[in-house]
Amino acid sequence: MTAAVQRYQARMQRVLDHIDRHLEDDLDLDALSAIAAFSKFHFHRQFTATFEVSVHRYVQLARMKRASYRLAYRDDEPVTEIAMEAGYDAPDAFARAFRQRFGQSPSSFRKSPDWEPWLAAFGPLDNARSKLMQKTYSPDDVEIRDVQPTPVAILEHRGDPATLGATIQRFIAWRKAKGLNPKTSPTFNVWRSEREPASPADYSIDLCAGTDRPIEPNGEAIRPGEIPGGRCAVLRVVGDTDKLEPAALYLYREWLPASGEETRDFPIYCQRLSFFPEVPEHEAVAELFLPLK
């Protein structure tokens, strides 16, 4: 990639980052073209050519994605407030747009989300974001760390990854009821299967919250467990932490063979340090842990 292309992409990346940080603001063409330092007469075509989606639709999708996360995972936030911050002057206008895009009203989605239409609706947004967010890693990005064991509460998700959102909802509700705030109770995901197993029914991941409290019998089948201590190769990922596969592939495909290290008998896992929508999506942080002997 030439230096000129890199500079051009950096200017476009500034626009995406600005949109992430200012979803409540007036994100018109004049403002966004100024962020990129491009002519406003050409910027919308440049954006569409780069990301295969118009500026207007990108902003709409980004606002709707944040709104849907807040509906599903932040049940204490009023729908009116969510609608206003998604750029709608009235809840009924937001409800119409939401139903048109996802086939559910906001209140119905909050209660019982249908995740398959949700995933399909954000295909253009995910595709656009992936254009400039292909992170390349090097051995300098990997730190070998001695990790202390962490007692955790575990909710197992077994089955189609398209239904993972419902499991996350249940786990968040349980954590809230127990006062296990992510700011004081670390959040881990442990992958016990391939990201895309031959059969979706074989997908397996543990949702974990750090706690040394006794786990009482509960309707969610949450059980006590432990993230074991020991040596780990740690790779930090910033931005788009829903897609950790490229970082994991780097660890397995490039770092591990060159390092001379051997893996330990525990799956790869991550700790989520900051979350979308609490922070803009490009500022979310997760660390991948590859257990070593």
- Convert the pLDDT of each residue in 114-128 to its tens digit: 888 888 899 999 889
Task: Looking at the structure, tell me whether residues 155 and 260 fall in a common domain.
Answer: yes
Res. 131 pLDDT band, cuts 50 70 90: confident
- Name beta bridge partners: 217: none
Number of folded domains in the chain? 2
Task: Looking at the structure, tell me whether residues 145 and 281 fall in a common domain.
Answer: yes
Task: Looking at the structure, tell me whether residues 52 and 108 fall in a common domain.
Answer: yes
Q: Is the pLDDT of residue 133 over 70?
A: no
Task: Looking at the structure, tell me whether residues 116 and 12 fall in a common domain.
Answer: yes
Q: Are strands 204-210 and 150-158 parallel, antiparallel or unpaired?
A: antiparallel
Task: Looking at the structure, tell me whether residues 92 and 199 fall in a common domain.
Answer: no
Q: Tokens 């398209």 — which residue?
A: 162
For 25-34, 87-96, 131-140, 205-214, which range has the lowest pLDDT when averaged over its residues? Answer: 131-140
Q: Is the pLDDT of residue 248 over 80?
A: yes
Q: Is the pLDDT of residue 179 over 90?
A: yes
Res. 220 pLDDT band, cuts 50 70 90: confident
Task: Looking at the structure, tell me whether residues 97 and 232 fall in a common domain.
Answer: no
Q: Which of 106, 131, 156 is the last residue of a domain?
A: 131
Mean pLDDT within 222-231: 96
Task: Looking at the structure, tell me whether residues 284 and 250 fall in a common domain.
Answer: yes
**Peptide bond just before 139 cis, omega within 30 deg:** no
Q: Is the pLDDT of residue 134 over 80?
A: no
Task: Looking at the structure, tell me whether residues 272 and 153 fall in a common domain.
Answer: yes
Tokens representing 4 are 């000129």
Q: Is the pLDDT of residue 44 over 80?
A: yes
Which one-letter DSSP state was computed for residue 254? I
Q: Which of 78, 103, 131 is the last residue of a domain?
A: 131
Res. 80 pLDDT band, cuts 50 70 90: very high
Percent of the chain with pLDDT over 70: 99
Q: Is the pLDDT of residue 172 over 70?
A: yes
Q: What is the mean pLDDT of the chain?
A: 93
Res. 32 pLDDT band, cuts 50 70 90: very high
Q: What is the pTM of this model?
A: 0.87
Res. 240 pLDDT band, cuts 50 70 90: confident
Q: Which of 109, 131, 153 is the last residue of a domain?
A: 131
- Greater confidence (217 vs 203) lies with 203
Q: Is the pLDDT of residue 25 over 70?
A: yes
Q: Is the pLDDT of residue 191 over 90?
A: yes
- Greater confidence (25 vs 288) lies with 288
pLDDT in tens, 98-119: 999 999 999 999 998 988 888 8
Tokens representing 50 are 């780069």
Q: Is the pLDDT of residue 10 over 80?
A: yes
Q: Are 191 and 269 in contact (CB under 8 A)?
A: yes
Q: Is the pLDDT of residue 224 over 80?
A: yes
Task: Looking at the structure, tell me whether residues 105 and 182 fall in a common domain.
Answer: no
CATH at residue 184: 3.20.80.10
Amino acid letter, 221: A
Task: Looking at the structure, tell me whether residues 94 and 32 fall in a common domain.
Answer: yes
Please choose, from the candidates 149, 139, 133, the residue with its C-alpha nearest in 3D space to the C-alpha of residue 231. 149
Separation between Cα atoms, residue 71 and residue 93, nearest integer Å: 16
CATH at residue 125: 1.10.10.60
Outline where DSSP puts E strands in 100-246: 142-147, 150-158, 187-191, 204-210, 223-227, 230-238
Task: Looking at the structure, tell me whether residues 125 and 200 fall in a common domain.
Answer: no
Tokens representing 271 are 């700790």
**Peptide bond just before 277 cis, omega within 30 deg:** yes
Which one-letter DSSP state was computed for residue 139? G
Residue numbers of the domain that contains 253: 139-291
